[in-house]
Structure 1
Amino acid sequence: MGQRGDELLAQARLKTPLAARRGEETLLVAKAQGCRVYDADNVAYVDLVGGGGTNLLGYANQYVLDAVRRASTMGLASGFHATAELELADLLHELVPGFSPWVLAPSESLAWELALRWCRRETGRQRLVVFDGNHRGAVEAFQVSAAGPLGISQSLVAGIPPEAAR
């Protein structure tokens, strides 16, 4: 990265130290278009992971932008149930009939929380396995690492109670 990118990345590490603490290389993105992300010095990089899955159709994809504009006029984020939810649930049931009922969550973290509760309810178990190196949302129970001293599980960020890492 160039000088501007290095300066901004140093600031970002102070504000979001988790990746830096784990020793991961970090790219500070200033803009994105299609399959490319650009740093503060306008150097382009091909995003091989699609923004962790959220941008598999590319950044600023016109089809997605148009759909978001249409949906935003319908009040879908208002907390009420919407006809589009039912249509999507019906379509999912039609495409994958063995996987129902469907739960449509308004955020990734809530989806992970619901999945965790469902797993605990169905298995009767309280403990879970968390793998290092993959994305699993911001759910407190998942903010642990097995890479502590002697392989002992530990919290990844401050504020997570020690019992969450057991």
Structure 2
Amino acid sequence: MAESLYIPKETDKAGIYQAILPQIEALISGETDLYANLANVAAVLKEAFGFFWVGFYLVKDNELVLGPFQGPLACTRISFGKGVCGTAWKESRTQLVPDVDLFPGHIACSSASKSEIVVPGIKDGKVWCVLDVDSDQLDDFDQNDKIFLEELMQLLSAKQSK
């Protein structure tokens, strides 16, 4: 089990992702419990980037149900196709939203959230969860986030036993 996280201070966002992804892979490689892994991944992302909210919603009984997260209180359940998370699930693709107020049907779990990226976890062609990352800044996510968070979700999905 890793007891510390190395986050380079003098680099760009891509450099931080390049430093933490191998650490996350090592962290989850020896752990079989899904919730423990999701909790640690949320903690790593929150610590590395200081995002406003980082967490997972898992597909259960045909809705997204709140899983491990870091940040303020969150919506507990999200319907298929609703909001940014439900849309990522429905479309099986990443949603990068520079201004959540302009996203049709956005679910405002917190009025402090200004931009968002949601990345689905896909196993055997089906979405099993989504990673939801919110910022309290407009236009805070870019292609680096999309590329590296999609890579992260591929790691988690490969480990997922569903």
Query: Structure 2 length normalisation: TM-score?
Result: 0.25
**Higher percent of residues as helix:** 1
Q: Which has the higher contact order (CA 8 A, sep 6+)?
A: 2
Using the size of structure 1 for normalisation, the TM-score is: 0.25
Structure with the larger strand share: 2
User: Which structure has the larger Rg?
Assistant: 1
